[in-house]
Amino acid sequence: MFNRHIEHGLLDVVEEIGVGIAAFSPLQQGLLTNRYLSGVPQSSRAAGSSSSLDERQVQDPDYQSRVRGLSQIAHDRGQSLAQLALAWALRHQQVSTLLVGASSVSQLEQNIATLENLEITDEELIRIDEFAVDGTAR
């Protein structure tokens, strides 16, 4: 949702040639979950020195505002933010695979539950676009 470069022509090309896209890290390494809304947990990727996430990014007020807005949309849909992000990524027929890094069976089950509510209305897409801005993730 914060890295939308495939929407600038790539989706059209893959549709034309008849292949699918495997989208990696559709949850932005956990940024598109509620995990970081109250700071950086010590057990998180952002707390580790080997992560491409950093505490400044997680605590950035713009990021926090965007995630809170998306989280409210997800809540209104009866989903978690992660489920909304996965449904949003799957809305393009060209996206055939999502590569998620679930770290527990519970996370995997929650991700699979996304399939119970994939439909995103035009009104929801308009609301999502207020917060899901290309280039927000660094």
Q: Are 11 and 85 in contact (CB under 8 A)?
A: no
CATH (domain of 50) = 3.20.20.100
Whether 72 is in a domain gets the answer: yes
> For residue 83, what pLDDT is reported?
96
Amino acid at residue number 21: I
* 82 occurs within a structural domain: yes
Query: Is the pTM for the entire model greater than 0.75?
Result: yes
- The domain of 29 spans 5-131
Q: Is residue 61 part of a domain?
A: yes
Tell me what pLDDT residue 2 has.
Answer: 79
Q: Note the pLDDT of residue 53.
A: 63
pLDDT at 23: 86
Q: Residue 138's pLDDT is what?
A: 47
Q: How many structural domains compose the chain?
A: 1
- Whether residue 138 is contained in a domain is answered as no
Q: Is residue 56 part of a domain?
A: yes
Tell me if 136 is assigned to some domain. Answer: no
In a domain, 137, yes or no: no
Query: Tens place of pLDDT for every residue, the chain, 138 residues?
Result: 877 777 888 888 998 999 998 988 888 878 888 777 776 667 665 666 555 666 667 777 888 899 999 999 999 999 999 999 999 999 988 899 998 888 789 989 999 999 999 999 999 999 999 998 876 554
> Using CA atoms, how far apart are residues 70 and 74, in angstroms rounded to an integer?
6
CA angle, residues 20, 32, 2, in degrees to nearest 5? 60
Find tokens 């995630």 and name the residue: 67
